């Protein structure tokens, strides 16, 4: 199934030719320590919102971010971005080696994001790499600095 999905995205990218320097909405896959889906939508040239649906620790997280984008290294298709947001997660604490009890957790907290993204001119594809530090305020409380991923999006 994963191979079919990746092949489909690749074929759509090759067939659809367009100017992808600036885009309004992008939908794609996110892979890293936690894996999932990403949807990014621009409200203007610099302001965007991103929704991340991810899975980790036998659970599920929903993250919403507000991001500000700026051109990087004087290259139109390359942007760096930063932002803030929040998350809610549902974790299964059973059989996870870093949890000392067997409870299920509902966690909420705040997130930061710092990243770099490149949009191809020839095909409607965008690739980004980011760091997503997290502070859980309720549930299993604490700071998580290992959040980061590479995302590949089909852009509209």
> Tens of pLDDT along 10-29?
444 443 433 345 789 999 99
* Residue 74: per-residue pLDDT: 87
Q: CA 67 → CA 3, 21, 81, 114, distances in Å?
A: 31, 17, 6, 9
**Exposure string over 119-156, b if 16+ CB within 10 A, otherwise e:** bbeebbbbebebbbebebeebbeeebeebbbebbbbbe
Give the start-to-end residue ranges of the domains of the chain.
2-155
Which residue ranges of the chain lie beneath pLDDT 50?
Answer: 4-5, 7-8, 10-20
Share above pLDDT 90 across residues of the chain, in percent, rounded to a whole number: 54
* Residue 102: per-residue pLDDT: 65
Chain mean position to CA 3: 21
Q: Phi and psi at residue 101, in whole multiples of 5°? A: -130, 180
- Model pTM? 0.80
The residue whose two tokens read 């949009």 is 119
CATH fold, domain 2-155, is: Porin (2.40.160)
Contact between residue 116 and residue 129 where contact means Cβ atoms under 8 Å apart: yes
* Residue 7: per-residue pLDDT: 47
């Amino acid at each position: 199934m994963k191979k079919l999905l990746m092949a489909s995205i690749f074929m759509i990218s090759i067939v659809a030719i367009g100017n992808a320097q600036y885009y309004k909405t992008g939908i794609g896959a996110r892979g890293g320590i936690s894996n999932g889906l990403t949807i990014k939508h621009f409200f203007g040239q610099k302001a965007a919102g991103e929704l991340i649906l991810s899975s980790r620790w036998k659970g599920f997280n929903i993250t919403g971010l507000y991001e500000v984008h700026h051109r990087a290294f004087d290259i139109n298709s390359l942007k760096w971005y930063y932002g803030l947001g929040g998350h809610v997660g549902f974790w299964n604490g059973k059989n996870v080696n870093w949890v000392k009890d067997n409870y299920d957790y509902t966690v909420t907290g705040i997130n930061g994001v710092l990243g770099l993204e490149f949009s191809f001119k020839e095909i409607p594809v965008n690739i980004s790499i980011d760091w997503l530090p997290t502070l859980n305020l309720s549930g299993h409380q604490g700071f998580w600095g290992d959040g980061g991923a590479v995302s590949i999006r089909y852009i509209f």
